[in-house]
Amino acid sequence: MVRDRARVLVIDDEEVVRDSCARILTGDGVVVEGAEDGLQGLKRFREFQPDLVLVDLKMPGKSGMEVLEELERADPDVIKIVITGYGSVSSAVDAMKRGAYDFVPKPFSPDEISLTVARGLEKRRLTSESNALRRGQERIRRNMISLVSHELSAPLSAAIQHLEVILAGMAGEISPESKELIGLCNGRLREMLALTRTWINLAVLDPIKMAERFEKVDLAEIARGSMERLRPLADRHGVDLKLVSPQPVSPIRGSQVPLGEVFHNLIGNGIKYNREGGWVQVRLFEQDAQVCVAVSDNGVGIEEVHLPRIFDEFYRADPRRSAPVKGSGLGLSIVKSLVEAHRGTIHVHSRFGEGTTFEIRFPRFSPSPGG
Amino acid sequence: MARPAHELSPNRREVAMGQKPIQVLIIDDDPDFLRSTGTILKSAGYEVIEASSGKEGLEKAKTVKPDLYIIDLVMETYGEGSRVVEALKSDEETRDKPRIMISSVDLQGPWESYKQQEQIGCDDVMQKPVSPAALLKCVERQLSQKRG
């Protein structure tokens, strides 16, 4: 965040400490606010959004160490400096292991506070700059990929469309054998186009931009939508689809379309890697304040040796071109990227020959963004 | 065996009966696309006018006054297609004719959340490569909607 003047929050139960810090740092051109205990401090932190926080380790009520940990969870980039009691270097070391950037022992001189805070603010400035640079680079990379994608898919589209015209009989009669060969050619080109598009979509996936469009969504509704769309495929394979949700689950923060893609991919796999008479089940439940989705099937399963790499890009358990189920190996890496963009986690359990379960966990919807 | 879509085209039947052929203007800088789409439409009896830039497209729109437009989203510059659509939409003489947007940009990309149709002001959107049957069906649907 670019600001004219840096902001520092002082959390200390002693008024004299808060006042002297305020006097010293204001003289250095910093905007200072104070809080008299941990709870007040955390509240002020959310409102004031400081660049740096001074936390007294010895406070009644919520301890300085707890405050430190909560600040680290809320914003790892905020600089935290602890004020330690008389002669306690070990607590300073503990604090730094919990995310503190530096410490200032009591009693401190004006210079000590001034210099330590100045160093902390400089680190903050450098971190912000490098984050901004990295985001800029990412943006350039994605724009380049988008441009390249157009250059790759346009000629493929053109070739496919010419073949379609011939196959439709609009360019004169062709022999049955020509028709067959052209059909095969068309098929391979379409595979290439689909793969190009899928890979490019994965490469330009921007979790931050996606998060900007997040809203409150209901996973049950999205699951039902996916299952409806996949019913024809399931029927063709003789696989039964079921949705199990003993209790309604809380909403989560996300986007309908990407989450739909997650369900579509997992349920689709459950159908394809299965047998006639098999089933795919989507179970929704809550556990540990998280909303969980388990997509299970009683299909062919995945051998243990493949499980650690199953989410890798292009990884295929059966890479043969003649494999019974065709795929690019990108589906699960896309699912993982989309789940993680929604701040979720995904795990897989499987027994070869018996079936597979993918379990996804999302944080519950909370009204404050970034909360 | 079923007759191919273009032979069954109502437009072709009407033309065979002496009606004036329906004119379709295709605006796309890709010569392959102009050619293959042109072939599809001609085989169903439509008269095809080609333009390989937004500028040329708008000029021909004024002189030929076609019955339907097929416009590519990305031409030399991204967004040129939408500018053409805007121009057609705001001109009294052209605004009532159906506009079909075609794009090679992946409209199914879930994380793009393309709602080109609503945003851009076209009556329908198709993804390249188009299957001949699907294109003809879309064109017929648009023409019959505007007629009725």
DSSP-assigned states of every residue in B1-62:
-PPPHHHH-HHHHHHHTTPPPPEEEEE-S-HHHHHHHHHHHHHTT-EEEEESSHHHHHHHHH
Q: Which residues, 6 or more positions from A36, have their beta carbon under 8 angstroms from its beta carbon?
A: A12, A13, A15, A18
- Mean pLDDT, chain A, rounded, equals 90
Count of CB atoms situated within 10 Å of the CB of A74: 13
Range of the domain at A73: 7-108
How does DSSP classify residue A309?
G
A150 within a domain of the structure (yes/no): yes
Report yes or no: B79 at the A interface, CB cutoff 8 Å. no
- Going from the first residue of chain B to its last (148 residues), give the mean pLDDT of each consecutive group of 10, the final group possibly shorter: 68 76 93 94 95 93 94 74 87 90 68 49 87 94 79
Q: Do A261 and A300 have their domain in common?
A: yes
This model of the complex carries an ipTM of 0.84
Asked if A161 and B105 come within 8 Å (Cβ–Cβ), the reply is no
Structure tokens at A6: 């840096």
Cβ neighbors of A167 (< 8 A, separation 6 or more) are A179, A182, A183, A186
The answer to whether residues A216 and A359 belong to one domain is: yes
Task: Tell me, yes or no, whether A250 and A359 share the same domain.
Answer: yes
- Structure confidence at residue B6 (pLDDT): 76
Number of domains in chain A: 3
Contacts with A, B 89-148, CB within 8 Å = 104-106, 108-113, 128-133
> What CATH number did the domain enclosing A233 receive?
3.30.565.10
Classify residue A201 as exposed, middle or buried by CB count within 10 Å of its CB (0-12, 13-18, 19+). buried
Has residue A1 been placed in a domain? no
Residue A125 forms part of a structural domain: no
Looking at chain A, which residue has its C-alpha nearest residue B77? A147
Contact (CB<8Å) A200/B106: yes
Q: What is the distance in angstroms between the Cα of B13 and the nearest Cα belonging to chain A?
A: 17
Calpha distance A335→A266 (Å, rounded): 8
CATH code of A24's domain: 3.40.50.2300
**Cβ within 8 Å, pair A255-B131:** no
Of A150, A154, A257, the CB nearest to B110: A257
B74 touches chain A (CB under 8 A): yes
Window 32-61 of B, Cβ < 8 Å to A: 32-33, 35-37, 39-40, 43
> Is residue A320 a contact partner of residue A296, using CB atoms and an 8 Å limit?
no
- Domain positions in chain B: 22-106+116-147
Same domain, A215 and A289: yes
The CA dihedral of A193, A196, A198, A203, to the nearest 10 degrees, is -160
| pLDDT digit string (tens) for chain A, length 371 residues | 557 899 999 999 999 999 999 999 999 999 999 999 999 999 999 999 999 999 999 888 888 999 999 999 888 889 999 998 876 778 888 899 889 999 998 889 999 999 999 999 999 999 989 989 998 998 888 888 877 877 888 899 999 999 999 999 999 999 999 999 999 999 999 988 988 887 777 777 888 878 888 899 999 999 999 999 999 999 999 999 999 998 999 999 998 888 998 999 999 999 999 999 999 999 999 998 899 999 999 999 999 999 999 998 878 887 776 677 777 778 899 899 999 999 999 999 999 999 999 999 999 988 755 43
Q: What is the pTM of this model?
A: 0.64
For A331-353, the pLDDT digits (tens) are 899 899 999 999 999 999 999 99
Task: For chain A, say whether B12 makes contact (Cβ under 8 Å).
Answer: no
C-alpha A191/C-alpha B117 separation (Å) is 27
Token representation of residue A144: 């380049």
Is A349 found in the same domain as A217?
yes
A183 plus A49 within the same structural domain: no
Which among A156, A168, A258 has the least Cβ separation from residue B110?
A258
**Contacts A–B by Cβ distance under 8 A:** 80
Pick the residue from chain A with its C-alpha nearest to B34: A158
The residue length of chain B stands at 148
Whether residue A61 lies inside any domain: the answer is: yes
Tell me which residue of A318, A331, A195 sits closest to A262, measured CA to CA: A331
The pLDDT assigned to A38 comes to 92
Please name the fold of domain B22-106+116-147.
Rossmann fold (3.40.50)
Q: How far is CA A70 from its chain centroid?
A: 21
Q: Is position A183 within any domain? A: yes
Together in a domain, A219 and A358:
yes
Domain identity same for A198 and A289: no
Residue A155 covered by a domain: yes
If you measure CA to CA, which chain B residue comes closest to A207? Answer: B111
